[in-house]
Amino acid sequence: MRTIFYPASERGHVDIGWLNSHHSFSFGHWYDPQKIHFGALRVLNDDIVKPGAGFGLHPHDNMEIVSIPLNGSLAHKDSTGTDGIIKTGDVQIMSAGSGISHSEFNASKTDPVNFLQVWVIPKLNNIKPRYDQQTFAVADRKNKWQIVVSPDEDENGVWINQDARFALTDIEAGKEISFSTKFKGNGVYIFVINGEVTIDNKTISKRDAIGIYDADSFSVKANQQSTLLAIEVPMLSLQ
């Protein structure tokens, strides 16, 4: 098993008033040649948006874009005709494909929204743009992995145009669980939303991450109550 540690303190950061964002990988005006991608995982932004503010209509193409609210709600509109609210507990995916435009705004006029936006490089380019959203029961991820994004419909996640999977878990202090990859050769990026865990004798804390590859499975032990996001992706090279 090989690993790459991504300390929270080394993330890019921008605060422009209405948006306070931390970037795990190079994004916008922040560039780090050592943090371009982890396999097919290209972007992981940890965004806090002030009440009533947000991202106006803008285009994307050939990217799988996943939004996961951690606190609060997002109002989403796009050129497929979708117009709805993404709440805490929901996971949304937008396959930009041949081209799509969308906007995202804090749905509240009084409370901030904190959400993760994750971009994954697609398996096939120029597909018809596609949108999906699903609500997941938080209780179903206690001390186990809850698949929320997958190309396999039997796993009951939102569909993604890639051999990639996202899973969430809430682990009680002292508990240990394992993660097994579904696709041969894939790596897994573990992002600690809250808490502290040990993986491969490495301790990682809130908003730290660890990339794991050359391993079909591994164990995670919670040193305290912890919430994690696992992103399994092909280990693509962008060179």
CA 109 to chain CA centroid, nearest Å: 25
Taking Cα atoms as reference points, which of 98, 94, 108 lies closest to residue 43? 94
pLDDT, tens digit, 9 for 90 and up, residues 204-221: 999 999 999 999 999 999
What is the sign of the dihedral through the CA atoms of 225, 168, 35 and 105? negative
Same domain, 142 and 215: yes
* Residue 2 lies inside a defined structural domain of this protein: no
* Residue 214 lies inside a defined structural domain of this protein: yes
Task: Specify the pairing of strand 83-87 against strand 73-78.
Answer: antiparallel
Same domain, 95 and 164: no
* Residue 1 lies inside a defined structural domain of this protein: no
**Band of residue 50 on the pLDDT scale cut at 50, 70, 90:** very high
Among the candidates 105, 135, 165, a domain finishes at 135
Where residue 27 sits, what CATH number does that domain have? 2.60.120.10
What is the sign of the dihedral through the CA atoms of 26, 76, 60 and 165? positive
**Band of residue 83 on the pLDDT scale cut at 50, 70, 90:** confident
Same domain, 128 and 151: no
pLDDT, tens digit, 9 for 90 and up, residues 110-162: 999 999 999 999 999 999 999 999 999 999 999 999 999 999 999 999 999 99
Overall domain count for the chain: 2
Query: What is residue 32's three-state secondary structure?
Result: coil
Q: Indicate the burial class of 209 (C-beta count within 10 angstroms; 0-12, 13-18, 19 or more).
A: buried
Residues with Cβ within 8 Å of residue 239, at least 6 apart in sequence: none
Same domain, 126 and 49: yes
- C-alpha distances in Å from residue 175, one per residue of 115, 142, 200, 215, 219: 26, 10, 15, 21, 10
Same domain, 119 and 157: no
pLDDT at 235: 96
Same domain, 106 and 157: no
How much is the average pLDDT of 71-96?
Answer: 91
Among the candidates 102, 135, 168, a domain finishes at 135
Same domain, 90 and 23: yes
Same domain, 105 and 146: no
How much is the average pLDDT of 48-74?
Answer: 94
Same domain, 122 and 100: yes
Indicate whether 239 pLDDT > 60: no
The percent of residues in the chain predicted with pLDDT above 70, rounded, is 99
| Residue 86 structure tokens | 């993404």
* Residue 5 lies inside a defined structural domain of this protein: no
Beta carbons within 10 angstroms of residue 103's beta carbon: 16
Same domain, 129 and 149: no
Indicate whether 193 pLDDT > 80: yes
Q: Where are the beta strands (DSSP E) in 7-122?
A: 12-15, 19-23, 41-49, 54-60, 64-71, 73-78, 83-87, 90-95, 100-106, 113-120
The answer, as to whether pTM is greater than 0.85, is yes
* Residue 4 lies inside a defined structural domain of this protein: no
Same domain, 46 and 144: no
pLDDT at 45: 98
Among the candidates 80, 107, 135, a domain finishes at 135
pLDDT at 238: 55
* Residue 6 lies inside a defined structural domain of this protein: no
* Residue 79 lies inside a defined structural domain of this protein: yes
Enclosing domain of residue 83: 11-135
pLDDT at 84: 86
DSSP 8-state assignment for residue 33:
T
Q: Rounded mean pLDDT of the chain?
A: 95
Q: Indicate the burial class of 17 (C-beta count within 10 angstroms; 0-12, 13-18, 19 or more).
A: exposed
Same domain, 210 and 124: no
* Residue 239 lies inside a defined structural domain of this protein: no
